[in-house]
């Protein structure tokens, strides 16, 4: 049995409303990229999705939250673009903060779990939260 048992305690968090996902890591990444790049199209490309897919996700999330997350400028000579609204920035900040707090808590849980499991399977066991 002498092989290393490297296990990793994993988790995902998201917000739901009436059983429907409202917000999670995927839309967080997409909106962060839109804000960084100033473009839904470029952000969609980075996330390997079509513009239509990205735009659909954003509209769905805005509808479920009942808040506008992005200000959009339609293209033309000056070009289009998008950026987070004040509410979008605040929402992103709060989601990032709760994710950070969950990560800190789970890191402690993982360390405690690691100690309990090592007492059963020995020192070849390692957990990690990233």
What tens digit of pLDDT does each residue of 47-105 get?
999 999 999 999 999 999 999 999 988 765 556 789 999 999 999 999 999 999 999 99
Per-residue pLDDT tens for 22-48?
Answer: 899 999 999 999 999 999 999 999 999
| Residue 56 · residue 49 · CB < 8 Å | no
**Pairwise CA distance, residues 103 & 64, whole Å:** 26
Task: Tell me the CA distances in angstroms from 69 to 48, 66, 89, 100, 105, one per residue in order.
Answer: 21, 9, 8, 21, 29
Q: Please enumerate in sequence order all residues whose Cβ is within 8 A of that of 116, keeping only pairs 6 or more positions apart, or say none.
A: none
Q: Which domains does the chain have, with CATH numbers?
A: 14-100 (1.10.10.10)
**Pairwise CA distance, residues 17 & 22, whole Å:** 6
**Pairwise CA distance, residues 65 & 62, whole Å:** 5
| Residue 130 · residue 6 · CB < 8 Å | no
**Pairwise CA distance, residues 84 & 41, whole Å:** 15
């Amino acid at each position: 049995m002498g092989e290393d048992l490297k296990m990793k305690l994993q988790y995902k968090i998201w917000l739901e409303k009436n059983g429907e996902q409202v917000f999670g890591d995927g839309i967080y990444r997409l909106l962060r990229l839109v804000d960084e790049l100033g473009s839904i199209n470029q952000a969609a490309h980075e996330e390997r999705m079509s513009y239509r897919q990205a735009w659909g996700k954003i509209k769905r999330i805005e509808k479920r939250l009942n808040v506008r997350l992005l200000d959009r400028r339609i293209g033309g000579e000056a070009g289009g673009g998008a950026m987070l609204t004040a509410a979008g920035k605040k929402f992103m900040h709060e989601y990032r903060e709760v994710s950070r707090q969950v990560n800190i808590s789970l890191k402690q849980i993982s360390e405690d779990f690691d100690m309990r499991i090592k007492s059963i399977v020995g020192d070849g066991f390692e957990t990690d939260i990233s």
